[in-house]
C-alpha cells in the first residue's frame, strides 16, 4: 500500500521540519510549503491525499488559503491547525470546508492527534466515496431499468395496436351487424389499454399516467371511431392534471370507453348530442370521474343498455379501484360517476 501523501502548509520553518520528521515516522510522505501561496501552487501541480493548513500565516492566512484550496478541482481533505483554542476559528475553518480541526501544542501529543485526525478524515473520505459510487451505480441501474420498462411499454403498445388492426380487418370482413359491432367494441377496449402504454413509454415517469393527457387522447380516439355510428357526436373531455398508477389508469380508461360507447349508442336515438367526460380531484387522496350526456335518460331502477359484457367490464374495473359506478339522477340524460382513491 502506497504512503499517504501530505502537504503541510506552515510559515514556521522549525514547525515544518519537526512536522515532516514526526509524520514520516508515522508512515506519511510529507511535502512542506512555507505559506498559503506556495501551498496552493503545490496543490495545483501535485496530487496529495491530505493537506494541513496552519491558521496564523503572513500574506494570506489559513482561512483564505483554505478557500483557495477549496476552489481547486478535486481538492483532498484539509485538516486545519492553529495554536489558538478560540472556538470561532474552528467554526470558521469548518464552514470554509475543513474536514477536521486540531489545536497545535508542543510535543509528540500534537502529532499523535494530527495522525489520528488524518486516519479519521481518510476513513470518512473513503466512506463518502463508496457512498457516492453506490449512489451512482444505483442511479445507473434505475436509468437502465426505466429504459427497459419504457421499451417494454413501447412493444406492448405496438403489439396491442397490431391486435387491434387485425380485429378491425376481421370486423370489416363480416356481414353480421352484431358480430361486427362486438369486434369494434373490442377494438375500442384494446385502444384504451394501448393508450396507457403509449403514455408510459413516451413520458419520463413509467409508473404513473397523467390522466388529463391520457383521457384527452382517449376521448379523441373514441370520437374518431364512434363518429360513424350515428353521424358524429360531440365528445368533450375536461380532466384535471391527476396522476394515477398504471393499473388504475387502465381501469379508468376501460370504464370511460364503455360509458362513452354506451352514451353514443343509446342516449340520442333520434340524432347526435353531447357526451362529456369529467375528472377532478375529490379531496386530497381521491378523484371523481363522471361521464354524462343530455339524451333520453334512463328510468330509475333500469339496468343500463348494452351487450352485458360492457356492464360486466365496468363492474370489474370499478371493483379493481375498490369502488362502484353509480348512475345519478339528473333533469336530462344520464350521469355516471365513480369515486376512488388516487393510489
Answer yes or no: pTM beyond 0.85.
no
Specify whether the CB–CB gap between 229 and 262 falls below 8 A: no
CATH number at residue 15: 3.40.50.2300
42-55: pLDDT as tens digits: 999 999 999 999 99
Stated length of the chain: 343
The closest alpha carbon to 69, from 91, 97, 49, 95, belongs to: 97
Cα(117)–Cα(120) distance, integer angstroms:
5
Average pLDDT, rounded, for the chain? 87
Specify whether the CB–CB gap between 12 and 27 falls below 8 A: no
173-205: pLDDT as tens digits: 888 988 988 898 888 888 888 888 877 767 767
Percent of the residues in the chain that have a pLDDT greater than 70, as a whole number: 94
Q: Residue 1 pLDDT more than 50?
A: no
Is residue 279 in a domain? yes
1: three-class secondary structure by DSSP: coil
| Confidence at 153, pLDDT banded by 50, 70, 90 | confident
pLDDT at position 2, please? 65
Buried b (16+ CB within 10 A) or exposed e, 31-55: bbbbbbebbbebbeeeebbbbbbbb
Tally of domains within the chain: 2
| Confidence at 306, pLDDT banded by 50, 70, 90 | low
H/E segment holding residue 94: helix 87-95
Q: Residue 280 pLDDT more than 90?
A: yes
Is residue 288 in a domain? yes
54-92: pLDDT as tens digits: 998 988 999 999 999 999 998 899 999 987 777 788 888
pLDDT at position 332, please? 80
C-alpha cell at 279: 375528472
Percent of the residues in the chain that have a pLDDT greater than 90, as a whole number: 42
Cα(158)–Cα(3) distance, integer angstroms:
60
Q: Residue 299 pLDDT more than 90?
A: no
DSSP state letters, 155-213: HHHHHHHHHHHHHHHHHHT---HHHHHHHHHHHHHHHHHHHHHHHHHHSS-SSEEEHHH
| Domain endpoint, select from 79, 104, 129 | 104
Q: What is the rounded end-to-end Cα distance, in angstroms, of the chain?
A: 54
| Enclosing domain of residue 36 | 4-104
Is residue 134 in a domain? no
Is residue 193 in a domain? no
pLDDT at position 48, please? 94
DSSP β-ladder status, 274-281 and 286-293: antiparallel
Residues 214 and 338 in one domain: yes
Q: What is the mean pLDDT of residues 132-143?
A: 88
Cα(132)–Cα(208) distance, integer angstroms:
28
DSSP 81: E
100-136: pLDDT as tens digits: 989 887 777 888 888 899 989 888 888 888 998 899 8
pLDDT at position 161, please? 84
Q: Residue 15 pLDDT more than 80?
A: yes
| Domain endpoint, select from 104, 138, 160 | 104
pLDDT at position 258, please? 92
Structure-model confidence comparison of residues 93 and 332, the more confident one: 93
Specify whether the CB–CB gap between 277 and 298 falls below 8 A: no
Structure-model confidence comparison of residues 39 and 156, the more confident one: 39
| Confidence at 265, pLDDT banded by 50, 70, 90 | confident
| Domain endpoint, select from 87, 104, 121 | 104
Is residue 136 in a domain? no
With the C-alpha atoms ordered 314, 317, 320, 326, is the resulting torsion angle positive or negative?
negative
Q: What is the mean pLDDT of residues 90-103?
A: 89
CATH number at residue 271: 3.30.565.10
Adjacency order of strands within the sheet including 274-281: 234-239, 274-281, 286-293, 335-341, 325-328
Is residue 45 in a domain? yes
Is residue 166 in a domain? no
CB atoms within 10 A of CB 91: 11
Specify whether the CB–CB gap between 322 and 307 falls below 8 A: no
Residues 335 and 219 in one domain: yes
Q: Which residues pair with 336 in a beta bridge?
A: 291, 327
With the C-alpha atoms ordered 266, 267, 272, 275, is the resulting torsion angle positive or negative?
negative
Amino acid at each position: 500500500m502506497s504512503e499517504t501523501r501530505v502537504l503541510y502548509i506552515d510559515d514556521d520553518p522549525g514547525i515544518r521540519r519537526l512536522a515532516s520528521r514526526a509524520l514520516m515516522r508515522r508512515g506519511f510522505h510529507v511535502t512542506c510549503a512555507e505559506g498559503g501561496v506556495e501551498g496552493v501552487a503545490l496543490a495545483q501541480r501535485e496530487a496529495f491525499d491530505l493537506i494541513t493548513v496552519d491558521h496564523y500565516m503572513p500574506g494570506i492566512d489559513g482561512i483564505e488559503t483554505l478557500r483557495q484550496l477549496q476552489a481547486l478541482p478535486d481538492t483532498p481533505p484539509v485538516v486545519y491547525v492553529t495554536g489558538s483554542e478560540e472556538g470561532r476559528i474552528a467554526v470558521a475553518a469548518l464552514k470554509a470546508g475543513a474536514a477536521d480541526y486540531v489545536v497545535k501544542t508542543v510535543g509528540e501529543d500534537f502529532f499523535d492527534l494530527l495522525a489520528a485526525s488524518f486516519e479519521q478524515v481518510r476513513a470518512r473520505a473513503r466512506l463518502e466515496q463508496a457512498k457516492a459510487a453506490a449512489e451512482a451505480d444505483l442511479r445507473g441501474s434505475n436509468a437502465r431499468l426505466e429504459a427497459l420498462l419504457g421499451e417494454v411499454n413501447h412493444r406492448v403498445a405496438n403489439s396491442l395496436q397490431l391486435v387491434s388492426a387485425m380485429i378491425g380487418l376481421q370486423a370489416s370482413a363480416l356481414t353480421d351487424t352484431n358480430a361486427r359491432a362486438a369486434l369494434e367494441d373490442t377494438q375500442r377496449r384494446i385502444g384504451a389499454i394501448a393508450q396507457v402504454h403509449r403514455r408510459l413509454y413516451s413520458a419520463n415517469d413509467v409508473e404513473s399516467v397523467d390522466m388529463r393527457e391520457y383521457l384527452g387522447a382517449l376521448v379523441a380516439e373514441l370520437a374518431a371511431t364512434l363518429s360513424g355510428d350515428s353521424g358524429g357526436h360531440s365528445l368533450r373531455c375536461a380532466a384535471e392534471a391527476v396522476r394515477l398508477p398504471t393499473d388504475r389508469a387502465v381501469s379508468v380508461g376501460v370504464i370511460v370507453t364503455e360509458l362513452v360507447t354506451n352514451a353514443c349508442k343509446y342516449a340520442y336515438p333520434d340524432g347526435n348530442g353531447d357526451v362529456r367526460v369529467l375528472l377532478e380531484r375529490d379531496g386530497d387522496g381521491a378523484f371523481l370521474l363522471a361521464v354524462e350526456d343530455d339524451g333520453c335518460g334512463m328510468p330509475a331502477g333500469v339496468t343500463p343498455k348494452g351487450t352485458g359484457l360492457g356492464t360486466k367490464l365496468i363492474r370489474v374495473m370499478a371493483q379493481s379501484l375498490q369502488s362502484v359506478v353509480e348512475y345519478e339522477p339528473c333533469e336530462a340524460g344520464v350521469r355516471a360517476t365513480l369515486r376512488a382513491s388516487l393510489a
